[in-house]
Amino acid sequence: MKAFKVLSLARSVMLIAALLSLFLVVTSITAAESEFRQQFIYNYKTMNFSAQVLLIEQSETIMLDEIISLTKDAMAKDVGFGQRMHLLDAASAMVSGYTHYVGTNRKLKKVKKRVDKLIANELKKEKAKNAELMKWKKEERFLGNFIMKANMKEMEKAGLPPVIYPHWVHRIWFECKVCHNDIFIMKRWRNDISQEKIVAGKQCGVCHDGKTAFSAEEKCERCHMGGLKEAKRLHDVDHVDYEKISKVADKLGAEWNVDRLPDGKIPVDRFGFIDWLQLKRLDIFKPINSLDGQYEPEIRGNQIYFKAKSKVKDVLFDHEIHSSWVKCSSCHPEVFSESLKNNVKMVAMSKGKFCGHCHGKVSFTFADCLRCHSQQKDTRQDGVLLHVGKKREMREK
Ligand code: HEC
Ligand code: HEC
Ligand code: HEC
Ligand code: HEC
Ligand code: HEC
Ligand code: HEC
């Protein structure tokens, strides 16, 4: 399938990039490094042991200072993790070579201790960094929590963890139209959200004013919840506070029919994401479409048929369903021009364009091919518009 080709293409691009960066690492060191270092690393890489032994024996007097200068270069400020580990690894190999072919002495022991410690430290830091990233991954799971930490330094100063914005909970009570795009542009990090604006009644503060929702001037910890135990109810189906969701829905005039939940829990699809379509089918929730009740729904009641190239089934896009969730202006003209000629391609979508503006972010994931590719080939019905794409003449053949 083409998508797999795309994947393997992406993989080869990554491989080439990795090789290229390795090449850059090697060449960028050679610019500043000594003859000894170059030779040593070359022999080390090509596993030319006899040349290495000869080199070590010839360089006995300068070698320890060479190792010291190598560790200094490795620890320079602008050196990235990959290059740093590459240099420290070479330093470690030099230490072993020296120990083996020259013998040990006090200065060597000192150098060895330093190199070992630097390597251990780097690995520890990298592990902590990955753990930090993974921690937020867990809380962002579920297709619809955002960790907000653009102003992390100020939050740290105030002794507060980052904000978890539970996008999904808000979707239960409010249609997309309430927030997008009057309050928020539909794109992460694009709204420059800050405490100051919130307290001034903008952004989250449109609702979090102590009337529609709890005030942002009190309950700090109800938003600044990243990494805390209480946050479990926001990313773990088993800990969701269903009663509270009901109470808020009642207050707002939205619906949340908790008794219709299958097994008493929010349904998730096989990828572990909230299955909104199931929630809708079972009539479990009905969000409000405006805060003041003055909004006149604007809906485009047609469907658009995408004839997929290659063997996959065709796609039916339901304008009516989508425009019942989302305002026209959230899609037009930024995501799609108002025509049938957008150059919609999977590759572009996987980069967040077209359908990928929402799917894979807050709506069901691309891995779920058949939810979109649901139509037997060439079964467009009367009245369903045909997406023509860019190359109109070719399409209509
Ligand atoms: C209560 C307000 C609210 C509602 C309702 C809401 N959103 Fe959002 N949405 C946000 C906020 C806040 C952000 C993050 C903005 C930022 O980081 O600057 C966001 C971001 C997004 C993004 C960007 C995701 C990304 O990774 O860039 C998409 C897409 C999105 N929303 C779609 C929707 C859709 C579709 C609905 C309805 C099904 C919806 N939103 C309902 C507040 C809302
Ligand atoms: C359109 C109105 C609206 C907007 C905009 C909005 N919220 Fe809310 N939010 C609510 C309501 C209503 C509740 C539930 C009321 C309550 O618990 O007092 C809520 C609840 C929450 C909760 C609590 C969830 C829980 O179970 O503890 C968090 C956290 C939250 N909002 C964060 C935010 C953040 C962060 C923003 C801005 C990025 C934001 N909200 C924007 C209406 C809104
Ligand atoms: C309704 C949710 C909400 C509540 C309640 C809330 N905050 Fe925030 N706060 C935010 C969001 C969203 C940000 C922006 C996060 C980012 O940097 O991406 C923020 C950012 C901050 C920052 C970073 C500096 C800045 O201006 O953005 C500080 C400091 C802060 N909040 C303090 C507080 C304090 C103190 C309280 C309690 C009095 C509080 N917050 C209550 C949502 C909230
Ligand atoms: C979820 C995104 C989305 C929303 C919301 C949306 N559209 Fe569209 N619209 C599309 C897509 C996708 C196409 C087809 C693009 C293509 O085939 O190149 C389209 C095509 C169109 C077209 C040309 C085909 C036709 O239907 O005549 C018009 C006009 C249009 N949209 C108007 C609207 C209006 C008016 C609204 C609001 C009531 C709206 N759209 C809401 C995604 C959206
Ligand atoms: C502006 C956001 C947005 C864009 C852009 C968008 N969708 Fe959706 N789509 C949604 C939301 C929200 C749902 C509801 C389900 C969910 O969130 O998981 C949905 C549901 C669907 C469904 C299921 C409809 C049903 O009820 O049976 C299909 C199929 C679908 N989208 C296809 C597409 C295709 C194809 C495109 C691009 C041509 C597209 N979507 C673009 C937001 C979007
Ligand atoms: C959110 C909806 C959606 C999902 C999910 C989705 N696709 Fe698509 N796909 C489309 C649309 C829309 C097109 C454009 C059809 C056209 O006009 O060529 C498309 C086109 C394609 C094409 C034709 C070539 C191309 O790149 O445009 C292939 C192959 C394809 N999809 C494979 C897949 C596979 C495999 C999956 C699952 C891993 C998948 N798609 C998931 C909407 C989707």
Distance between alpha carbon 273 and the CA centroid of its chain, in Å? 15
**Cβ atoms 275, 268 nearer than 8 A:** yes
CB of 48 closer than 6 angstroms to any ligand 3 atom: no
Tell me, what amino acid is at 291? L
239, two tokens: 């800990």
**Which listed ligand is nearest to 197 at the C-alpha?**
3
Q: What pLDDT is stored for residue 5 in this prediction?
A: 41
Q: Is the pLDDT of residue 125 over 90?
A: no
| Structure confidence by residue, pLDDT tens digits, 331-373 | 999 999 999 999 999 999 988 999 999 998 899 988 899 999 9
The mean pLDDT value for 256-279 works out to 91
Tell me, what amino acid is at 187? K
Distance between alpha carbon 172 and the CA centroid of its chain, in Å? 23
CB of 169 closer than 6 angstroms to any ligand 3 atom: no
Q: How many CB atoms within 10 Å of residue 178?
A: 21
Query: pLDDT: is 144 or 307 the higher one?
Result: 307
Q: Is the pLDDT of residue 11 over 70?
A: no
**Cβ atoms 284, 313 nearer than 8 A:** no
Residue 173 alpha carbon, nearest atom of ligand 1: 5
CA of 74 to the centre of ligand 4 (A): 54
- Matching residue, tokens 């990313």: 235
The preferred substitution site among 324, 338, 344, 390 for testing ligand 4, maximizing ligand atoms within 8 Å of CB, is 338
CA of 146 to the centre of ligand 3 (A): 14
**Percentage of the chain with pLDDT > 90?**
68
Q: What pLDDT is stored for residue 82 in this prediction?
A: 81
Distance between alpha carbon 206 and the CA centroid of its chain, in Å? 27
- Find the distance separating the first CA and the last CA of the chain, reported in whole Å: 23
- Matching residue, tokens 């529609």: 212
Q: What pLDDT is stored for residue 392 in this prediction?
A: 53
The mean pLDDT value for 266-282 works out to 90
Separation CA 46–CA 135 (nearest Å): 40
Q: Is the pLDDT of residue 294 over 80?
A: yes
Q: How many degrees, rounded to 5, is the angle at CA 204 between CA 198 and CA 209?
A: 75
Q: What pLDDT is stored for residue 79 in this prediction?
A: 85
**Cβ atoms 136, 268 nearer than 8 A:** no
| Structure confidence by residue, pLDDT tens digits, 155-210 | 999 999 999 999 999 999 999 999 999 999 999 988 999 999 999 999 999 999 99
**Percentage of the chain with pLDDT > 70?**
89
CA of 71 to the centre of ligand 1 (A): 47
Residues with CB under 6 A from ligand 5: 276-277, 315, 317-318, 321-322, 325-326, 330-331, 335, 344, 354-355, 357-359, 363-364, 371-372
CB of 340 closer than 6 angstroms to any ligand 6 atom: no
Rg (CA), the chain: 29
Q: What pLDDT is stored for residue 73 in this prediction?
A: 94
Nearest CA to ligand 3 atom 1: 216
Q: Is the pLDDT of residue 390 over 50?
A: yes
160, two tokens: 């507060």
| Structure confidence by residue, pLDDT tens digits, 20-53 | 444 444 444 444 679 999 999 999 988 888 999 9
CA of 116 to the centre of ligand 5 (A): 53
Burial of 88 (0-12, 13-18, 19+ CB in 10 A): buried
| Torsional sign, CA 246, 251, 252, 255 | positive
